Amino acid sequence: MRLTDLPAAIMAILGLTSAAFAFEIEERARYPAANPETELRIISTADRAVFEPILLAFQQQNQTISIDYTIASTTELMKAVHAEGEAFDLVISSAMDLQTKLANDGFARTYRSPATDALPDWAKWRDQVFAFTQEPAVLILSETAFPDEAYPTSRDELIELLRDQPDRFRGKVGTYDVRTSGFGYLMATQDARVSENFWRLLEAMGRLDTQLYCCSGDMLHDIREGKLAIAYNVLGSYAQAQLEDGGGYRIVMMSDFANIMLRTVLISTKADNIADAQTMINFLASLESRPDLVAASGLPAVDTDALQSNVALRPIRLGPGLLAFLDRLTRRNFLRNWEASITQE
């Protein structure tokens, strides 16, 4: 039983759900339009700094739409939409599996337009879930820990390095806590699905008192602070954006394989403002035609050619397969194995 269910029930009874949310929000921002007529309510996992340029550009084109932008973690977002049925118009998340589950379980509205038809087949599912970015999971290496060109570029080399020099990296390796981060869980399960090396890597990391994080931002922060030497499975787009701000680390795209997460958007069946939600979908689906926004947000647009030029890039496929790791028994077993490996119990 989820602890959050109780306050949600109380809120519902008191009729306060519109005023406050029963799920944990990280931040809520309002962008009033120049000539406000309608309001588009978005729940998203994307940080405000990352997404703001896109929202402002959207408002530039649509001057009557105010935007209410709520940021939550992938897990809390799922809780808000799936369990509590919050009335958001648009749901934007980096957790493809959870977005797929929302569509599969009937929480998404079907929409087709020339812009969505122009998306490649792998970038949409059921005409309900639409991908608008492709962001790799990368390895982050601190420049102080790896000053020269001798650094690992594949999981095999990383395992070897961690095994050979345990004292150098003890307490200085970080990764997602997959128990709390939906994105972390998605990346971990995809790693496990593709390669048995994942469990060996986890064993190696577990022996080194690996630090667990909720978000990529925190990991990058600790890398810059020198608390971490290695961060595994960091969201590449954030790392790239912050590299330009401060730096102090190296972004390594794994040469054996690099999972590509597709940031997806869907219109909720609870949406009040469907028309504006559709306008936003069209805007996001044609992100490739706005290189200025790609640069400003650091979110790479969907691009088939970029994937074909590097065979190590593996875009995670939208579809019912993603539901397998969301199965409660499978998830419990996976987390148990993960905990056993990372905590060495």
The residue ranges that bind another protein (CB under 8 A) are 103-106, 125-127, 193, 317, 319-325, 327-330, 333-334
Smallest distance from another protein to CB 30, Å: 34
Smallest distance from another protein to CB 255, Å: 24
Smallest distance from another protein to CB 41, Å: 24
Q: Is 280 helix (H, G, I), strand (E, B) or coil?
A: helix
Q: Which is nearer to another protein, 178 or 230 (CB)?
A: 178
Smallest distance from another protein to CB 307, Å: 19
**132 CB-near residues (< 8 Å, 6+ apart):** 123, 263, 264, 265, 284, 285, 287, 299, 301, 302
CA dihedral 290, 296, 301, 307 (to 10 degrees): 120
Smallest distance from another protein to CB 181, Å: 20
Smallest distance from another protein to CB 100, Å: 9
Q: Which is nearer to another protein, 146 or 325 (CB)?
A: 325
Q: Which is nearer to another protein, 129 or 234 (CB)?
A: 129
Give the dihedral sign, CA 254/170/242/180. positive
Q: Which is nearer to another protein, 49 or 323 (CB)?
A: 323
How much helix, strand and coil, in percent to the nearest 5, is found in the chain?
45, 20, 35
In the chain, DSSP assigns E strands to 27-31, 38-44, 65-71, 90-93, 124-125, 129-142, 173-176, 211-213, 230-235, 249-252, 258-267, 313-315
In angstroms, the CA 223 to CA 205 distance is 16
Smallest distance from another protein to CB 158, Å: 24
Q: Which is nearer to another protein, 24 or 327 (CB)?
A: 327
Q: What is the DSSP string of 182-224?
A: HHHHHHHHHHHHH-THHHHHHHHHHTTT-EEES-HHHHHHHHH
Q: Which is nearer to another protein, 28 or 112 (CB)?
A: 112
Q: Which is nearer to another protein, 150 or 329 (CB)?
A: 329
In angstroms, the CA 132 to CA 54 distance is 12
